[in-house]
Chain A
Amino acid sequence: MRLSEVFRIAWEAIGKNKVRALLTMLGIIIGVAAVIVMISISAGTEATISDQITALGSNLIYISSSFSRMGPGMASSGGLIYDDATAIEEQISGVKGVVVEQDASETVKAGSVSLDAISVTGTSPDFLSVRSLTVSEGRFYTTDDVTNKKKVAVLGYDLATELFGTTDPIGQTILVSTTRVTVIGVLAEKGTVGEIDYDARLYAPISLVLQKFAQTPFSRIVGDQIRMIFVQVDDKANMDNVILQTQILLAKRHNVSLDSLDFTVTTQQDIIATQESTTAAFRSLLAWVAGVSLIVGGIGIMNIMLVSVTERTREIGIRQSIGATPADIRWQFLTEALLMSLVGGLIGAAVGIGGSWLFGTVSSMRTLIVPSSILLAFGSAAAVGAFFGFYPANRAAQLDPIDALRHE
């Protein structure tokens, strides 16, 4: 029988039971759509991460406190202190710049609006370029502001809107905890990156934050604690050298040995590797989920094809009596199963593409449709159809023509 006829017969058979066919295809549709959506989510996440990493600039070293050192019975040092950053900048060669960061959480008031537990980030002016943030109104504070502990603040986009609404915030005075601070700038919208909502924060000179908001009992004894130091290295080739020098310097300053450091040093490479392994795990989990739903869809097709073979036993008998060979019958039913999964795959691909787009638009997650994922999903759907269609088709082919004709 000609291929066009085989397809025509299969297509007509599906058309006779549209609702049933659609319900059967649903499993495949969901499976294929799931594969495409999930791959687009993980691809979007990866793209976001790589964008962030690129935006952070190159050759960065992150030094953060190991908080275990804060526990009882530990040395008197309080982890990283502000002076550590200065020491790194002054004593280590190959360092291009150093940025420090310390957070606090304070109540912020502007006129009648009062907001609790607002994150206050104290940092140096380089922070802006290191985190690739831009100022939309006014200005960011300068090195001068930091040196002089100026009572100035830059607001995140959302925070500015919440505090001032449509009023221009520049030049306004706000109350952070008990300190009066002048707003000098508002940042452009950035959104949430790596769990930090840049738009809901208040940024102030590190010196001001350390003095007014982030005082700890240790501050007087050992100096101002800071959460993190970013070191920008001048050349990629110097990375290892700078890391080693930093570790030696800080170990000496903190009075600890090199094998029990009270701080951790990570590089962008480490972060990339961690995030890549996270997304890889995420992606393979999603692939399994999608794969399982494809298999479930395949079983649905097998089930309905078995029903179909039973229902159409007489038709099979008629075809056999006028000369259909077992191979003809097998092909007919296999094509039907295949066609159902292919149509399901097609609908699933459309749903998947639409779903990815919708998900990317509605949620905060970024999605990126990967063309090869459509091909993969489609191919799996076809394979599922062929695999699960074979048994019912073979059963139809094995029917005895006399029994089949006698079937009511």
Chain B
Amino acid sequence: MTAAHTIIETIDLTKIYGMNGVSVTALENLSIHIEAGEFVAIMGPSGSGKSTLLNILGCLARPTSGKYILDGEDVSDLDKVQLALIRNLKLGYVFQSYNLLSNTTALRNVMLPLLYDRTHRVPPEKWQAMGEKVLEAVDLGDRMHHQPQEFSGGQQQRVAIARALINDPVVIIADEPTGNLDSRSGEEIMGLLDTFHKQGKTIVIVTHDPIVAAHTERTIHLRDGRIDTIVHNGNSHPVIRKETNYAAI
């Protein structure tokens, strides 16, 4: 993937929640810019608007005003159905609580985004092979037919990452992906994300954990719905440095 291709661009993004006549501004004229292949962390205290931003970036919610351009397409005014299609084709999610379907094998969970793809980019006869491939990529090739409840937290999150990868999204959006994990599993998950980043994936991660943020190239700090600071995480390329670290574990 070549540089200078913008994946995410927001222009004066504003989100106002109105409840019982009282309106709360969650995001105010927020403009951010994320290039292809970037690994970006979004941090901020509770109420800073990071969840709201994530929901909008993830096409789960629409901004009150402003523009959100995803992969060159203005998605700010799309309706429910169009947003669902964008989520299916262009986005991959990793949630804090994994959000896998229970009583459904890892393979079936991972294949789910393909099932909802009405453009059939991947023909149905290749779904299973595709699912196996991404599960192997997260080192779960030998446990594909197990159900989520048979997995540890870290393994469940790896299944979730595989699910996020299967539709070859333009960006992976991770919401506190290590929040429910012990530090060792957390490191493993971050290691996986580092690997996929190194392979060219664009990843946006919301976290309050500085160690997690340290894996990324850039941290956007939010406060009261605005950008507080943008920190570039070190001079050397973080991905390469992290890789050596994991080799040591």
A and B assemble together: yes
| A325 interface neighbour in B85, B100, B101, Cβ under 8 Å | B85
Q: B88, B101, B115, B124: which has the most chain A beta carbons within 10 Å?
A: B115
Question: Is the beta-carbon distance between A322 and B87 smaller than 8 angstroms?
Answer: yes
How would residues 103 to 115 of chain B score, 1 for a CB under 8 Å from any chain A CB and 0 otherwise? 1100000001101
Given contacts A2-B124, A327-B81, A405-B99, contact A321 B116 (CB under 8 A): no
Q: Which residues of A contact B95 (CB under 8 A)?
A: 405
A320 interface hit (Cβ, 8 Å)? yes
Closest to B98 in A: A318
Binary A-proximity of B130-170 (CB < 8 A = 1, otherwise 0): 00000000000000000000000000000000010001000
A405–B176 Cα distance when bound, in Å, is 14
B232: Cβ under 8 A from any A Cβ: no
* A-B Cβ contacts below 8 A, count: 62
On whether A325 and B99 interact (CB within 8 A), knowing A319-B116, A402-B60, the answer reads: no
How far apart are A46's CB and chain B's nearest CB, in angstroms?
51
Q: Is A195's CB within 8 Å of the partner chain B?
A: no
The closest CB in chain A to the CB of B80 belongs to: A326
For A318, list chain B residues within 8 Å (CB). 99-101
Tell me the complex Cα distance, A325–B118, Å.
Answer: 10
Q: A315 on the interface (CB 8 Å rule)? A: yes
Contact string, B15-34, partner A, CB cutoff 8 A, digits 1/0? 00000000000000000000
Residues of A in contact (CB 8 Å), total 22
B85 and A323 within 8 A (CB): yes
Contact bitstring A324-345, B, C-beta under 8 A = 1, else 0: 1111100000000000000000
A1 to chain B, nearest CB (A): 5
| A322 contacts B112, C-beta separation under 8 Å | yes
**Minimal beta-carbon separation of B82 from chain A (angstroms):** 9
- Cα-based distance from A364 to B189 in the complex (angstroms): 74
Main secondary structure of the interface of A (DSSP, over half): helix
Task: For A402, give its contact among B61, B81, B88, B99 (CB under 8 Å).
Answer: B61
What distance in Å separates the Cβ of B104 from its nearest Cβ neighbour in chain A? 8
Q: Do residues B116 and A322 form an inter-chain contact, with CB atoms below 8 A? A: yes
Q: Is B117 an interface residue (CB 8 A)?
A: yes
* Residue of B58, B60, B81, B118 with highest tally of chain A CB at under 10 A: B60
A212 to B63, CA, bound (A): 106
Q: Which residues of the other chain, B, contact A328 by a CB distance below 8 angstroms? A: 84, 116
Which residues from B are CB-within-8-Å of A326? 80-81, 84
Residue pair B60, A321 in contact (C-beta under 8 Å):
yes
Q: Given contacts A314-B99, A315-B101, A405-B95, are A322 and B80 in contact (CB under 8 A)? A: no
**Is A401 interfacial (CB 8 A cutoff)?**
yes
Asked whether, in the complex, the Cβ of A320 is within 8 Å of the Cβ of B84, the reply is yes
Determine if A90 is an interface residue (Cβ-Cβ < 8 Å): no
CA distance A1 to B120 in the complex (A): 9
A13 → chain B, closest Cβ, in Å?
9
CB distance from B177 to the nearest CB of A (A): 14
Query: Which residues on the A side are within 8 Å of B117 (C-beta)?
Result: 323
Picked from B55, B80, B87, B116, the residue with its CB within 8 Å of the CB of A1 is B116
A262-B117 Cα distance, complex, nearest whole Å: 85
Q: Does any Cβ of B come within 8 Å of A5's Cβ? A: yes
- Of A5, A320, A325, A327, most buried by chain B (CB within 10 Å of CB) is A325
CB of A354, distance to nearest CB on chain B (Å): 33
Residues from chain A with Cβ under 8 Å of B163 in the complex: 322
Give complex CA distance A235, B170 in Å: 92
Distance from B45 Cβ to chain A, minimum over Cβ atoms (Å): 20
Q: Does A16 count as interface, using CB distance less than 8 angstroms? A: yes
Closest chain-B Cβ to A215's Cβ sits at a distance in Å of: 85
B95's nearest neighbour on chain A, judged by CB, is A405
Partner of B84, one of A2, A12, A324, A402: A324
Q: Does B93 contact A (CB under 8 A)?
A: yes
A322 touches B60 (CB 8 A): no
Q: Which of A321, A322, A325 contacts B81 (CB 8 A)?
A: A325
Q: Tell whether A323 pairs with B81 under 8 Å between CB atoms, given A314-B99, A402-B60, A402-B61.
A: no
- Complex contacts, B53 vs chain A, CB 8 Å: none
Mark contacts of A1-18 with chain B using CB atoms, 8 A cut-off: 1 yes-contact digit, 0 otherwise. Answer: 110010000001000100
CB-based nearest B residue for A401: B60
B60 touches A323 (CB 8 A): no
Q: State which residues 284-326 of A face B: CB under 8 Å.
A: 314-315, 317-326
Q: How far is the CB of B26 from chain A (nearest CB, A)?
A: 12
Q: Which residues of A lie under 8 Å from residue B118 when comparing CB positions?
A: 1
Chain B hits for A315, CB < 8 A:
101
Nearest-neighbor residue (CB-CB) of B84 within chain A: A325
B100 contacts which chain A residues (CB < 8 A)?
318
What's the Cα separation between A347 and B101 when bound, in Å? 30
Q: Which residue on chain B has the smallest CB distance to residue A9?
A: B115
Closest-by-CB residue of B relative to A2 is: B124
Partner pick for B99 among A2, A5, A12, A321, CB 8 A cutoff = A321
Given contacts A1-B116, A328-B116, A401-B60, contact A323 B84 (CB under 8 A): yes
Interface on A for B, CB 8 Å cutoff? 1-2, 5, 12, 16, 314-315, 317-328, 401-402, 405
Selected A-B contacts with CB under 8 Å, 24 pairs: A1-B118, A2-B115, A16-B103, A314-B99, A315-B101, A318-B100, A318-B101, A320-B60, A320-B84, A321-B87, A321-B93, A322-B112, A323-B88, A323-B89, A323-B113, A323-B167, A324-B84, A324-B88, A324-B116, A325-B80, A326-B81, A326-B84, A328-B84, A405-B60
